[in-house]
Amino acid sequence: MKRIATGLAIMSMTTLAQGAVSVQGRFDYKRLETKTTTAATATTTSTLKDSSGEYEVNLARILTSGKINDSLTFDMELDLKQVSGATGGAVTDFVDSMVLTKKVGENFSVKLGKQDPLIGGFEWAQADSDVYAVSTFYTDGAPNSVGLSAHYTMLGHTLSLAHLETATNSGTSNSTTDKKVTGALLAGSYMDGMISTRFSHHQVGAAAGRTDLTGLGLQFVKDMFVVQLDYSMATKKNQGTNDAAATVDAKLNTMVAHVRYNHENYKPFVKYIMDKSEGSYALTNDVAGAESERTVIEAGLEYSPNKDEDMRYHLVYSMAETKQKTGTTGTTARGKIENDTIVAGVKFGFNLL
């Protein structure tokens, strides 16, 4: 209650400076059926877990924006689902983002605060309220982090440079934990927005435990159809193991295809995800293989009764399969996990102040 009161106090001050406050939420009913298969040299065993389904608050946020003057703006998002986990100089997860933006001239701007590190292709650029099944690259990429970013826009193209940190103090001593996020994003727009591109490269962490993240995205828009294609790579230098227990790079390669039809009221879509890992890189629902593969096929329908309201219903079905291509270290076992998921819910938003 104390943290919510503090957040509302901050937002009240922002509102006085020509701002606005809004609420965004999403409630879901989720049913998950999981089948796990383990295949050894001579035997194969399967277990089936049928969930009866559960209700969940998928998203609960308060958003605020304010104009301090003609060149300075302030934006903040409070995630009501998060607990206060900040230590030292870090920003609590309750504050999902807090950004002060300074516009310098027509094409250049600087952002200071907790912000999106701008990693990956168009899957990464989707709003949280519009995401259902996601790739492992989306899950493992760096979270919103504290620091500085600079943005230069010209002729429909934007170059963004970021130097951020996911945490500033360990909380147990005065020692600093190196969790820097440094990188760049080049976003382009062609043919009056019909074709858009995103290319990014980031480094996360210190040299000894560094992860390199590269994302490439292509979007094509024609009338009401939107087609998005992403290819992403993550590499952890000398942090993985192969099936012979040797130290190797842990690698992830991800492909995502997303096709959507944006009718005024009905928005059907399909999504395909392929995650491939080497060096025991852990996939979502991994089965602990030195090499693993994950495939997701998703289809859904979103319905908005009124185009002038931020209110919509959704029904989504997805099939996911994660399997080993090679066994775990020192064994010949193989494993596979299959998930069938149904999500039905409602997303809404409204102005609070």
Q: Are 281 and 249 in contact (CB under 8 A)?
A: no
With vertex at residue 68, the alpha carbon angle to CA 64 and CA 74, rounded to the nearest 5 degrees, is 35
pTM: 0.85
Candidate ranges 18-27, 137-146, 215-224; pick with highest mean pLDDT: 215-224
Of residues 51 and 14, more confidently modeled: 51
- Scan for tokens 């703006």, then name that residue: 73
pLDDT in tens, 180-220: 899 999 999 999 889 999 999 999 887 677 899 999 999 99
- Report which secondary-structure segment, H or E, holds 8: helix 2-16
Q: Which of 311, 294, 298 is nearest to 272 (CA)?
A: 298
pLDDT in tens, 53-112: 899 998 999 999 988 888 999 999 998 887 554 444 445 678 889 999 999 988 999 999
pLDDT of residue 334: 66
**DSSP symbol at 128:** G
| Domain with residues 29-57+123-351, CATH architecture | Beta Barrel (2.40)
One DSSP character per residue, 283-319 reads PTT----SEEEEEEEEEEEEE-S-TTSSEEEEEEEEE
Phi, psi of 309 (to 5 degrees): -115, 145
List residues bridging with 203 in a β-sheet: 182, 212
SS3 content of the chain, % helix, strand, coil (to 5): 10, 60, 30
List residues bridging with 294 in a β-sheet: 275, 322
Contacts of 104 (CB under 8 A, 6+ apart): 71, 110
SS3 at position 132: coil
| Helices and strands in the chain, H and E counts | 3, 17
